[in-house]
Amino acid sequence: MPQHNPYPVPEEPGVFIPVEVKGWQDGYDAGISSPPNTPPTPSVRNPDYMDAWEEGAASGHADGRTEGWRWAYFGGGSRPDPRGAGGPYEPQNSGEGGQEHSEVFTQSWPCVGERPLLVVLARFAPGQRGGDGLTGRLLARACTDKGVTRLYLPVSLHPSEAPQDRTGDPLTDAGYWHGTVQESLDEAAPEAIEHVTVRVVRFAALLRYEPTAEHDFFDLLPVNGQLPSNRLS
């Protein structure tokens, strides 16, 4: 089982969130996505953030070895290099079957990152404010409250030119197109498939989210298993 953020989050509204919450979560995401070694701690002004980041990175690296590595796809991370740090990082069977479009989404890549989950949270639970290391837990709680076990978001896999003016949408501002959050693969699939076939864009996928406590975990299910070649090296 994945290790969890040890820093408590105040439940009272309006209470300041300790910087250690974000520090640990950021470090964990980096640690589980960058084998074979634990990543170096970034130099920032807040020593409490740095200490928590270092703890989180160690936990993420340990989970990468035992639970499997994850790709920080939308965070600028390269495909994990597992040499000397466990088994190979390869696509898995998506487990999606028996649906109209399931044959298009047979592969899944385990990924990690807050940026796309901020988009999912904003659209699935309007009014919830992510960030500060809270995005994963808020999204998981919203899914539990609504009785939802999976969410899907159509996304592009290759960024285009980012808009000149900031939109406030973390994926759009990074140059990635995305569609609408849906609760089933068949509801979300047409947007991803259309992005490839109609717009003549080769690479799109479904982002699949399943609640995993506070973690920023998700899977990418590429259309027809196709990823940009520069992401596979």
| Full 3-state SS string of the chain | CCCCCCCCCCCCCCCCCCHHHHHHHHHHHHHCCCCCCCCCCCCCCCHHHHHHHHHHHHHHHHHHHHHCCCECHHHCCCCCCCCCCCCCCCCEECCCCCCCCHHHCCEEEEEECHHHHHHHHHHHCCCCCCCCCCHHHHHHHHHHHHCCCCEEEEEECCCCCCCCCCCCCCCHHHCCCECCCECCHHHHHHHHHHHHHCCCCCCEEEEEECCECECCEEEEEEHHHCCCHHHCC
Predicted confidence at residue 30, as pLDDT, reads 96
Q: Are residues 117 and 213 in the same domain?
A: yes
**In which residue ranges of the chain is pLDDT below 70?**
82-87, 198-201, 230-233
* Position 9 in a domain: no
Q: Are residues 57 and 97 in the same domain?
A: no
Q: Are residues 132 and 176 in the same domain?
A: yes
**Integer Rg of the chain from CA:** 17
Final residue in a domain of this structure, among 67, 82, 100:
67
Q: Are residues 98 and 210 in the same domain?
A: yes
Predicted confidence at residue 113, as pLDDT, reads 96
Q: Are residues 207 and 165 in the same domain?
A: yes
Question: How many domains does one find in the chain?
Answer: 2
Structural domain span for residue 50: 19-67
Predicted confidence at residue 153, as pLDDT, reads 98
Q: Are residues 61 and 128 in the same domain?
A: no
- What predicted TM-score, i.e. pTM, was given to this entire model? 0.94
Predicted confidence at residue 232, as pLDDT, reads 60
Predicted confidence at residue 185, as pLDDT, reads 96
* Position 5 in a domain: no
Predicted confidence at residue 13, as pLDDT, reads 73
Predicted confidence at residue 161, as pLDDT, reads 79
Predicted confidence at residue 166, as pLDDT, reads 85
Q: Are residues 101 and 211 in the same domain?
A: yes
Angle at CA of residue 111, ends 105 and 114, nearest 5°: 120
Q: Are residues 106 and 194 in the same domain?
A: yes
